[in-house]
Structure 1
Amino acid sequence: MIPEIGHFALALAFALALVQSVLPILGANREKLLWMQSARATSLGQLSFIGIAFAALMRSFVTSDFTVLNVVENSHSLKPMLFKIAGTWGSHEGSLLLWVLILSVFGAGVSLFGSNIPEPLKARTLAVQAWISTGFLSFMLLTSNPFDRLFPPPLDGNDLNPLLQDVGLALHPPLLYLGYVGFSIVFSFAVAALLEGRVDAAWARWVRPWTLAAWMCLTAGITLGSWWAYYELGWGGWWFWDPVENVSFMPWLLGTALLHSAIVTEKRDAFKSWTILLAILAFSFSLLGTFVVRSGLLTSVHAFAVDPERGMYILFLLALSIGGSLALFAWRAPLMEPGGLFKPVSREAGLLLNSIILGAATGAILFGTLYPLFLEAVTDEKISVGPPFFNASVVPMMLLLVFVMALGPYLSWKRADLVGILQRLRFVAVLSVLATLTLWYLQNGGPVLAYLSILLAIWLFLATLREWGTRIRLFDVSFAESLHRARNLPRAAHGMTLAHTGLAIAMFGFIGSSAWKVEEIVFVTPGTTIEIAGFDVTFEGMERVRGPNYVADRGTLVVERGGKPITILYPERRSYPVAQSTTTESAIRSTLAGDLYASISTPLSETSEQSGALTLRILYEPLVNFIWIGMGFLILGGGFSLSDRRLRVGAPRSRKTLPVATAPAE
């Protein structure tokens, strides 16, 4: 009975979405207040009914209700409770339900917390949000019902993919979807503004907190996924330019550009068309990721294997959303007022360059991700575009971006003195060069690009701290006065400092773990000792252990340095009988200096030369933990900015009517 309630609740949510997609926008066009305000009731109703449906599906997983096909395919009675709950969104149907739940959360959020938004704009925004909900709810009800029954029910389920039975992957999809779907409300604001013919500083102020919230969640989701890949998959990497990784990274890049462009629209009433376009593209690339993951184009641990017919439905939604919004943009954007003027050296120019670089990087990733799929569809020829292409095309652009980021906070609006800024930063430049040369001396050589990257990371780190110190007049006044100034700084200023500092810290991890990684892959038998990065690692043997729903072969590695014991590592190879698959559980000794990382594979066949031996993969990854620390700073910086009172209060209402420029007189 509970699954039927969930299914019925989805149907009711779909009906409310249809009403919300029409009535509020008609009210805005006809200036009928009650029609516009109906969006509040329908958006809250959608959230309630979709919440009931989600709770019904989760209850089916928690109780192991094997009359529900989705539970049979993605759960098992012996699975730990956390992963039973995570199974709710571990399938195509369940993750789609989570998607529409988050979609309704953002719509209801605007209804509840958008009291300072003019009713016409709010009504149009919520109507556009309902258009998106209608598309995905219809997709779910017609092709991807999570409550399909199975009679007679089996005695037990097929279990969830063992690779997904991990705390990191239990939290990764909700955070990632909060980012993906969070950009939907920004998209809705952009389309509503185009329909209304009005984009101004107040609009940018209303959009920024929602953009920031989505960006923070997407950052957290990508970080958690990268961390999971690092410790769970057993290859010791945190990013492989996998197509599914790429389709999450592209909206992040565009969301970052949107955050900075919206600042210019708010502060200087400029970049209106560019900000609108970025808002449309950020969500469009989120939809593109949904299509790529669910269309059956890819075979990946991240992807959902679904039939091509469902992929065609998503492709239709994709074409309708992206094509319609871009057509509306092409029609309305030329009529917008151009905004304030600025010199080539100014904060506006710096933020524009920031957006252009991020957009160009997105284009390069898009080409590298989709070209192999397009070529295979046209010629049936399979090619692989891997890390060498992306590193060669994207990394140089990111390095240029880092250099500009360090200068950005020093630039003034409208016109800036670049020579004066460089003079103020000459001490930072000298320190950066000296630190890089010291590292080169200690490392005794290495890739030139790695040292250039380290130089820019130190440059960004020191320039950011100097700018913050200048704001509070650190060392120029008493410490108490500097502390007082720090407390009075806008939280958004602290947020910018934390975010820029976090990126510099993360760069240390990116570079260190890539350029100076040491790796050994060897056959081992009990008593074998491997020397790596100053450590002596001795393989003591294997033992069989049992888990809740798996059996594992656990190795024992004794780690010493200079004859002194350091730690003992226990890598595992787990076998899941129900799912009939195995996973690698790496063992890691983590320090700020670097990680000693070990994973072990199954014994070789008895007929090989190394009969009875196992394959041990052991790595030393310098500074890798700076990646997670730096990304934490990025998220913390976003949180500080989001808590800024100026974003919570919003912009004052403007009494001006449609500020759309008319054609100039001849």
Structure 2
Amino acid sequence: LAAWIFLTIGISLGWWLAYYELGWGGFWFWDPVENASFMPWLLTVALLHSAIVVEKRESLKSWTILLAILAFGFSLIGAFIVRSGVLTSVHAFATDPSRGMYILMITAFFTGGGLLLYAFRAHAMQAKGVFSMVSRETALVMNNVLLAVATFVVFIGTMWPLIAEIAFDRKLSVGPPFFNTAFLPFMVMLALILPVGAILSWKRGRIGKAAKSMAGVFALAVAAGILTWTLQTGKTALGPVGISLGVWLVFGAGLDLWQRTGRKGIADRLRRMFKLPRADWGKALAHCGFGIVIVGIACLTAWAEEDIRVGHINQPFTVGDYEITLEDVSREQGPNYISTKGRM
């Protein structure tokens, strides 16, 4: 969990750096080095959810161990991508093939060794808990499958230029169009499953009861999407769908907390809500964060406007609903750099 938290902080700071500090016009470009950090993050998310099933129901033991090995292995693969120079990236720290060979050997030793031990010992990890098709365990298994497949998609897209060059002697690049098309559907399915899975019972749940509980949240999410579609200037479905999913996740997490407070009065339930275990609050905050990220990504992707042009002083130009005029350009000396600044 601690490793995942620090990796999350690192990725988030990378978003901030790219968007606000460097002014690259975006927060994620599906660059090989970005993907190198994202793949172990996805697998660790799956691992954390799988570990819950092991703790609560003593199921998915061997699968959880396999996820742990793969998450660590993909961390080493990320180091190989960043340090070896086999893939072109503006973020690559070195282009030293000999160093890359050492990292590849380390990756093969630890990951291969872990998988070998797993192959010999997996049969000894017998699952004790049995669960039905409609249960929280099943929802967590679906969560794991979606995250694992999404990781595989990112891995194939990241490594395909290298595979194509070695196997077919072709130089090509795989960019955002592929990743957005192949990756996003899995995240949409994951977002739809999360709130429902969180309120299902362990071992055997009732889909009718869950649907009845989530009806209000579903109606609110649909209403938010329809309202967004009505108010937006450009008729794109990405923004309304993203806002609907965000509302679904955030209010679904809130409903999960609320249902854990019993059936007494509102004041008593509010007091009990703040006394819920930290694990419940952690789950709710994580799901809310996922919803907020979806809203932010959808809104920025759907409604951001970019205009690349040569600007001339005192000549106005229009971007969206704004008229912008370049008033002055100056050079400034920093502590260890010289910058060119434009005043608009």
TM-score band w.r.t. shorter chain: over 0.9
Query: Of 275, 278, 297, which aligns to 2:86?
Result: 297
**TM-score under structure 2 normalisation?**
0.96
Query: Of 305, 310, 316, which aligns to 1:523?
Result: 310
Matched, 1:329 2:101: no
Secondary structure of the residue aligned to 2:107 is: helix
Aligned partner of 2:129 in structure 1 is 340
Shift of 1:238: 0.3
The letter of the residue matching 2:325 is T
Shift of 1:445: 4.7
Aligned partner of 1:632 in structure 2 is none
Write the distance in 2 (CA, Å) between the matches of 1:543 and 1:278: 53
Aligned partner of 1:252 in structure 2 is 41
Tell me, yes or no, if the aligned pair for 1:270 and 1:339 is still in contact at 8 Å: yes
Write the distance in 1 (CA, Å) between the matches of 2:59 and 2:239: 37
Query: Of 253, 264, 270, which aligns to 2:53?
Result: 264
Deviations 1:230-265 (A, max 9, x none): 123333110000011001000000000000100100
Query: Of 450, 465, 468, which aligns to 2:257?
Result: 468
Aligned partner of 2:246 in structure 1 is 457
Aligned partner of 1:477 in structure 2 is 265
Shift of 1:326: 0.5
Aligned partner of 2:29 in structure 1 is 240
Count of aligned pairs between the two proteins: 344
Tell me, yes or no, if the aligned pair for 1:299 and 1:305 is still in contact at 8 Å: no
Aligned partner of 2:154 in structure 1 is 365
Write the distance in 2 (CA, Å) between the matches of 1:339 and 1:308: 47
Pick which of 527-536 and 357-366 moved more: 527-536
1:216-235 equivalent positions in 2, closer than 5 A: 216-235=5-24
Write the distance in 2 (CA, Å) between the matches of 1:473 and 1:216: 31
Tell me, yes or no, if the aligned pair for 1:544 and 1:553 is still in contact at 8 Å: yes
Identity %: 48
Write the distance in 2 (CA, Å) between the matches of 1:339 and 1:371: 40
Tell me, yes or no, if the aligned pair for 2:258 and 2:273 is still in contact at 8 Å: no
Query: Of 325, 333, 336, which aligns to 1:546?
Result: 333
Tell me, yes or no, if the aligned pair for 2:86 and 2:95 is still in contact at 8 Å: no
Deviations 1:113-152 (A, max 9, x none): xxxxxxxxxxxxxxxxxxxxxxxxxxxxxxxxxxxxxxxx
Query: Of 187, 191, 204, which aligns to 1:402?
Result: 191
Deviations 1:142-188 (A, max 9, x none): xxxxxxxxxxxxxxxxxxxxxxxxxxxxxxxxxxxxxxxxxxxxxxx
Pick which of 406-415 and 464-473 moved more: 464-473
Aligned partner of 1:313 in structure 2 is 102
Tell me, yes or no, if the aligned pair for 1:446 and 1:515 is still in contact at 8 Å: no
Deviations 1:170-220 (A, max 9, x none): xxxxxxxxxxxxxxxxxxxxxxxxxxxxxxxxxxxxxxxxxx111110000
Matched, 1:512 2:272: no
Matched, 1:446 2:263: no
Matched, 1:491 2:268: no
1:24-103 equivalent positions in 2, closer than 5 A: none
Write the distance in 1 (CA, Å) between the matches of 2:184 and 2:96: 36
Tell me, yes or no, if the aligned pair for 1:270 and 1:340 is still in contact at 8 Å: yes
Gaps of 5+ in 2: none
Tell me, yes or no, if the aligned pair for 1:269 and 1:340 is still in contact at 8 Å: yes
Aligned partner of 2:178 in structure 1 is 389
1:183-198 equivalent positions in 2, closer than 5 A: none
Write the distance in 1 (CA, Å) between the matches of 2:240 and 2:134: 28
Write the distance in 1 (CA, Å) between the matches of 2:139 and 2:243: 22
Write the distance in 1 (CA, Å) between the matches of 2:319 and 2:261: 46
Write the distance in 2 (CA, Å) between the matches of 1:532 and 1:307: 44
Write the distance in 2 (CA, Å) between the matches of 1:447 and 1:483: 39
Tell me, yes or no, if the aligned pair for 1:410 and 1:421 is still in contact at 8 Å: yes
Write the distance in 2 (CA, Å) between the matches of 1:353 and 1:313: 37
Aligned partner of 1:188 in structure 2 is none
Aligned partner of 1:418 in structure 2 is 207
The letter of the residue matching 1:461 is V
Tell me, yes or no, if the aligned pair for 1:271 and 1:339 is still in contact at 8 Å: no
1:555-594 equivalent positions in 2, closer than 5 A: 555-557=342-344
The letter of the residue matching 1:246 is N
Larger Rg: 1
**TM-score under structure 1 normalisation?**
0.50
Deviations 1:11-54 (A, max 9, x none): xxxxxxxxxxxxxxxxxxxxxxxxxxxxxxxxxxxxxxxxxxxx
Tell me, yes or no, if the aligned pair for 2:245 and 2:295 is still in contact at 8 Å: no
The letter of the residue matching 1:456 is L
Shift of 1:449: 4.1
Matched, 1:500 2:287: yes
The letter of the residue matching 1:296 is G
Gaps of 5+ in 1: 1-211, 558-666
Secondary structure of the residue aligned to 1:530 is: strand
CA RMSD of aligned residues (A): 1.6
Matched, 1:215 2:4: yes
Matched, 1:430 2:219: yes
CA 1:384–1:441 in structure 2 vs 1: closer, same or farther (change >3 Å)?
same
The letter of the residue matching 2:248 is W
The letter of the residue matching 2:337 is Y
CA 1:294–1:463 in structure 2 vs 1: closer, same or farther (change >3 Å)?
same
Write the distance in 1 (CA, Å) between the matches of 2:211 and 2:153: 31
Secondary structure of the residue aligned to 1:523 is: coil
Aligned partner of 1:536 in structure 2 is 323
Deviations 1:546-575 (A, max 9, x none): 111222221111xxxxxxxxxxxxxxxxxx
Shift of 1:444: 4.1
CA 1:543–1:445 in structure 2 vs 1: closer, same or farther (change >3 Å)?
closer
CA 1:356–1:444 in structure 2 vs 1: closer, same or farther (change >3 Å)?
same
In proportion to residue count, which structure has more helix?
Answer: 2
Write the distance in 2 (CA, Å) between the matches of 1:521 and 1:296: 31
Write the distance in 1 (CA, Å) between the matches of 2:88 and 2:155: 18
